[in-house]
Amino acid sequence: MDSGKLNDQEMAAIVREAVDRLPGGFVIFGPNHEILMSNAQNERDFPFTNKALREGKTYLEATYAAVREIVPDLPEDEARAAAKRINDALSRGEPVELRTHLGTVMQVVEIPLSFGGWVAVGADVTALRERERELKKARKEAEAANEAKSAFLANISHEIRTPLNGILGMAQLLASSNLDDEQKDQIDTILDSGKTLMAILNDVLDLSKIEAGKFDISPIDNDLSHLLRRLEKLWAPRAMEKGLELRLDIDPALSTFLRFDPVRVRQCVSNLVSNAIKFTETGSITVSVTAVPVEDGAFEVRIGIADTGMGMNAETREKLFAPFTQADSSTSRRFGGTGLGLSISRKLAQLMDGDITVESEEGKGSTFRLSFRAVPGRRTEEAPANADVAHTGGVRWAKGLSVLLVDDHALNRKVARLFLEPIGISIVEAENGEEALRFLQTQPFDLVLLDMHMPVMDGAETLRHIRAHEPHIRDIPVIALTADSLGPNKARYAALGADGYVGKPIDHRELILEIGRVLEEKFGRAPAPKAAFPDLRQVGS
């Protein structure tokens, strides 16, 4: 057919066929919304609206008629309100999604034309909306699974912290006793190992932090050289067991007293050294430390961990820092591990304005480089961990204090007792909240140390009972003790009625300082001598 010789009738037929073949609805309205042209898809999607318009009804009336047909159970006022919302949105040129009698969802928009009419086009978005619903459902299921996983990990964290509390508690007590230099080094290694495990536990078991990449960086003034030499002592025995030489090479020109986060640096270096020992069968591991001045008086600290181990190919290097990934399945079976350490370490390095990179060749060893930003630190005198209570700024009048210690785990109670009894504090132990309330009703106490997770009656419920009691019980200061995986949340415990908080594993000095702070804040001075306990026969009279 010669397009140049088409008459009006032939062109109209072609346009009509083209419009009917459109995948979506198409309709041209006159100035009063009378239908001038409607394609086949529009007739299939909106037969009730089209029928009403052809019967002479207004656009609003036709829309209302369609609503009544498609949703017959909708109350009258709601049907009219829905019809008005549709009309108002279309008149403003906004897209409107309409459910048809076929069960499909059509997105419709009207565009004004120069002669006063409108052209309306519709697109089927049923599959898109169904996909969105599936994604929402999947997200809710994932969130529910994530919550269940987080709850499980929180419980595991609590269970791990209980024996860790015993390990670190007893190590702190040994550190305060008379030891020779070698024994002190051994205790320092135990404490360092425990603190590193605690730092890893705080991050790895707090799933929300890992998945969201939310790690706290807390720079303090610290001696980097001292930290690394203690790590060397920690890892040297492991290297010696495999016949490896572990060397630490610190640039003598480096001023090692810097402001950085020692916990995170220790975590990163420990992971890298541990991996180097794990994947090296013969030879050595060398830890080298330098620093390069950058802007504003800061330094970029660079710590290289070079080994003579198995090395890796380019494919392995590319996926090395992906979470839960190891070199290959055989590596996982042979060496174990979760494949999470490098991913976490790199995130930590990046949060410290640095990074972790790797150079490696299969069969020729690997060199990992940790970098982070630090500024010069200010050296201050730090009180020793076994400082006399009189010099801690805390409990200067500990002798004679009576404390009720409430914890369901005997090891936790033993640790706290060994911390506090040597400084003159009298301890009464209770295994749960119900037993604690019985003690509180029969004898006076200056303070309650209350574990928050216990069977029979937990810490939160016990606190509610204490604060709802008679004044001689209600006003007793309470310090919450907890191994929550979420870490310290003083506001949460304060809302429950606690006066203070100490996390587990318990730090000896921190516990004593918190006791002093709470009692001074509560009384403004040492607690007054305990008056005779009220006659229980008269309390309720």
CATH number of the structural domain spanning residue 349? 3.30.565.10
- Burial class of residue 59 in the structure, from the number of CB atoms within 10 Å of its CB (0-12 exposed, 13-18 middle, 19+ buried): buried
pLDDT tens, position by position, 276-316: 998 899 999 999 999 999 988 899 999 999 999 988 888 88
- Average pLDDT, rounded, for the chain: 82
pLDDT tens, position by position, 513-522: 888 888 887 7
State yes or no: pLDDT of 526 exceeds 80.
Answer: no
User: Does residue 474 sit within a domain?
Assistant: yes
Of all residues in the chain, the percent with pLDDT exceeding 70 is 82
User: Does residue 228 sit within a domain?
Assistant: yes
User: Does residue 540 sit within a domain?
Assistant: no
Domain, as residue range, for 70: 12-124
**What is the pLDDT, as a whole number, of residue 391?**
38
**What is the pLDDT, as a whole number, of residue 383?**
38
Check whether residue 360 and residue 256 sit in a common domain.
yes
Number of domains in the chain: 3
For residue 525, name the pLDDT band (cuts at 50, 70, 90).
Answer: low
Strands (E), 261-354: 284-293, 299-307
**CA pair distance 409, 327, nearest whole angstrom:** 41
Check whether residue 329 and residue 224 sit in a common domain.
yes
Query: What is the torsional sign of CA 20, 23, 24, 28?
Result: negative
**What is the pLDDT, as a whole number, of residue 370?**
96
pLDDT tens, position by position, 453-500: 888 888 889 999 998 888 888 889 999 988 764 444 566 778 888 888
Query: pTM higher than 0.75, yes or no?
Result: no
**CA pair distance 396, 525, nearest whole angstrom:** 10
User: Does residue 264 sit within a domain?
Assistant: yes
Check whether residue 240 and residue 371 sit in a common domain.
yes
Check whether residue 426 and residue 343 sit in a common domain.
no
How many Cα atoms within 13 Å fall on the side-chain side of residue 345? Answer: 26
Check whether residue 300 and residue 429 sit in a common domain.
no
For residue 87, name the pLDDT band (cuts at 50, 70, 90).
Answer: very high
Check whether residue 219 and residue 339 sit in a common domain.
yes
Mean pLDDT of 246-264: 88
For residue 244, name the pLDDT band (cuts at 50, 70, 90).
Answer: very high
CATH number at residue 56: 3.30.450
**What is the pLDDT, as a whole number, of residue 512?**
86
**What is the pLDDT, as a whole number, of residue 41?**
92
